[in-house]
């Protein structure tokens, strides 16, 4: 029987096959074949299952993925963690504060989405709270910067309902993953899009101004508009995994586009003469923070030279 993984707890999986849901474990062979990953099977994977009874089954085969989004596993630098598989769109949920989303986090997520050919839209959530002149100026700056880089970015609010209908219309009929730091409001957005799920929403931790984990495991929800919404646990950082230095600029769209005018085809955009990227940064055509995060990724220990 073929089914789609709709929940992952790390050891057990919930698989939807037709109208029936099965609690599944995986064969040891599958786990060994992907020993570099903390989770050889992810939410969104299509799998073959062998029912043991009316409620339980064994996953015997994973079908090829059209794409997936991956990050370095927490505390396990040599292993990876697949966030979701077979998605049409990734929505990166960010906030200006309570908690604050760092631009380095945003750019590393976008880099990974680009590398695995997943379109990404940035959602600035809790926009009803951001009313100061400084907040409004920051929103304008972020919109200009990421729009210039080729990304859709807009404000949403689960509380006020701002742009929730627009978001719902965009998602209709697609498989989408929502990702972001803990506490940015991914589960609240799910509640706004489909109140019947009434996901538990935790308050922000005041002690260190970072979100507490409201979603423990990745889970897929089928929305009334035909969308498959994958809610993921919040993450505090987004570690890169095995990127080639020579190709890194390809995943920053505005840098890659500008690099075609560089004098050298293998320009690293750090020191070379007649570098079009450095000139564009100097002229303000490429945002300084985007360029600085590109350089930071170049220096990341998990960014390697091709052998």
Q: Which domains does the chain have, with CATH numbers?
A: 2-62 (2.40.50.140), 79-231 (3.40.50.300), 243-304 (1.10.40.50)
pLDDT tens digits along 57-116: 999 999 999 998 887 665 555 567 788 999 999 999 999 998 999 999 999 999 989 988
Whole-model pTM? 0.85
pLDDT tens digits along 27-62: 766 655 555 667 788 999 999 999 999 999 999 999
Tokens representing 170 are 């965009």
> For residue 221, what are the contacts with CB-CB under 8 A and spacing of at least 6?
190, 194, 197, 228, 229, 230, 231
**Residue of 208, 280, 302, 293 whose CA lies nearest to 252:** 293
213 C-beta neighbours (distance < 10 Å), count = 12
**Residue of 124, 114, 11, 5 whose CA lies nearest to 69:** 114
CB 81 within 8 A of CB 71: yes
What was the pLDDT predicted at 66? Answer: 94
What was the pLDDT predicted at 298? Answer: 87
Reading the chain (307 residues) residue by residue, the pLDDT tens digits are 999 999 988 778 999 999 999 999 987 666 555 556 677 889 999 999 999 999 999 999 999 999 988 876 655 555 677 889 999 999 999 999 989 999 999 999 999 899 889 999 999 999 999 999 999 999 999 999 999 999 999 999 999 999 999 999 999 999 999 999 888 999 889 989 988 876 444 433 343 344 444 445 788 999 999 999 998 877 665 666 667 788 899 999 999 999 999 999 999 999 999 999 999 999 999 999 999 999 998 887 556 554 4
CB 138 within 8 A of CB 145: no
Q: How would DSSP label each residue in 228-250?
A: EEEE----S-----SEEGGGGGG
What was the pLDDT predicted at 205? Answer: 38
């Amino acid at each position: 029987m073929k089914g789609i993984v709709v929940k992952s707890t790390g050891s057990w999986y919930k698989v939807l096959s037709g109208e029936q849901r099965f609690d599944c474990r995986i064969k040891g062979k599958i786990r060994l074949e992907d020993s570099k990953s903390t989770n050889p099977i992810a939410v969104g994977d299509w799998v073959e299952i062998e029912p043991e009874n009316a409620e339980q089954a064994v996953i015997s085969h994973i079908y090829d993925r059209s794409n997936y989004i991956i990050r370095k596993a927490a505390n396990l630098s040599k292993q990876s963690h697949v966030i979701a598989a077979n998605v049409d769109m990734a929505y990166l949920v960010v906030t200006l504060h309570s908690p604050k989303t760092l631009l380095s986090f945003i750019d590393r997520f976008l880099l990974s989405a680009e590398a695995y050919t997943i379109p990404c839209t940035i959602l600035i959530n809790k926009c009803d709270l951001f009313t100061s002149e400084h907040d409004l100026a920051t929103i304008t700056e972020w919109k200009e910067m990421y729009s210039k880089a080729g990304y859709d970015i807009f404000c949403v609010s689960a509380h006020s309902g701002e742009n929730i209908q627009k978001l719902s219309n965009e998602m209709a009929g697609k498989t989408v993953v929502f990702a972001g730091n803990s506490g940015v409001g991914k589960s609240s957005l799910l509640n706004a899009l489909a109140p019947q799920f009434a996901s538990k929403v935790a308050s922000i931790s005041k002690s260190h101004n970072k979100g507490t984990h409201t979603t423990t495991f990745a889970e897929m929800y089928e929305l009334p508009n035909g969308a498959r919404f994958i809610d993921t646990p919040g993450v505090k950082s987004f570690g890169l995994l095995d990127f080639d230095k020579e190709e890194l600029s390809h995943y920053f769209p505005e840098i890659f586009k500008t690099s075609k005018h560089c004098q050298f085809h293998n320009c690293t955009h750090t020191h070379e003469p007649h570098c079009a990227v450095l000139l564009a940064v100097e002229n303000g055509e490429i945002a300084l923070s985007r360029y600085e995060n590109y350089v930071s990724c170049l220096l990341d220990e998990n960014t390697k030279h091709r052998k």
